[in-house]
Amino acid sequence: MRVSSGGLAAGVLLDALLGDPRRWHPVAGFGRAASRVERLVYGDSRGQGVVFVGVVVGSAALFGVGLERVGRGRVAHGIVTAGVTWAVLGGTSLGREGLFMARALERGDVKAARARLSHLCARDPKGLGADDLARATVESVAENTSDAAIAPLFWGAVAGIPGMVVYRAVNTLDAMVGYRNPRYERFGWAAAKLDDVLNWVPARVTGALVAACSGSPDAWRVLVRDGGEHPSPNAGRCEAAFAGALGVRLGGVNSYGGLVERRPEMGDGRKVEVADIRKAVRLSAKVTFTAAAVAVVARWWR
């Protein structure tokens, strides 16, 4: 499997300039197709969930291999790589959502921030104050720095175009069915576990990059000490590094669809404030572009 270093760089630049389109996004189209497959194969069992993941991810893998074969020439391969990279990256849109929350909370519009929170995470916004919404935003930016940017770049470097396509397919399925609720606790098990596997290395790379880019010794210390305390095997690495880098405490009580979770706190600093959202967005962007530069240089060297 191969990927063009120039195409990879062009795709990162396209994401930085354009972000995700409001309509006709390839990942949204994939999600609609996956929903149709879900309606056909759904059953309240892990076995049916395995079938669902096998059909959808297998189809995505074949599509990725086809794209790689279409781009056999250097120029064609660069163009295809750029298009796929742009499609699977979401770092710019993540930053835009974070900045929307920052602006809303800075002007005291808690209602608008509550209404927008679903664009970042599945947390129940009802009753959340400004600082609670700020914490939810910072935690989402931290976790999704890996999911939306570092992991696609990592899998592109490792497995080329098919790697990026398969990763985004699995991550999208996890966002669709990877929930611990009556409908998806068993059916979504396979998607959630496969997403955990594919994000294991990228999440730890993200944590290390956050610590390196922030230049904060506390980021390394909190990453090592608290990264494994999170219920997720991966999200905690990202959130702990961000907590140390920003000098705040993340974690605590969260509500998801009426179910209350009490998560261990990470970091030794103060409570998250609204001003920390912009700091988190800037750090996420710095980490993303650092990872992109490393990936481009690595592919060029190979």
* pLDDT (mean) for 133-140: 96
* CA torsion angle 92 179 277 243 (round to 10): -110
Q: What confidence score (pLDDT) does residue 84 get?
A: 95
pTM for this predicted structure? 0.92
Residue 71 has pLDDT above 70, yes or no: no
Residues 6 or more apart in contact with residue 76 via CB below 8 angstroms: 70
Least Cα distance to 3 among 200, 146, 198, 165 occurs for: 165
Q: How far apart are alpha carbons 231 and 219 in whole angstroms?
A: 20
Q: What confidence score (pLDDT) does residue 5 get?
A: 82
pLDDT tens-place string over residues 139-192:
999 999 999 999 999 999 888 899 999 999 999 999 999 988 889 999 999 999
Q: What confidence score (pLDDT) does residue 248 get?
A: 97
> Highest mean pLDDT range out of 76-90, 186-200, 251-265?
186-200
Average pLDDT of the chain? 92
pLDDT tens-place string over residues 1-58:
566 788 889 999 999 998 888 788 899 999 999 999 999 999 999 999 999 999 999 9
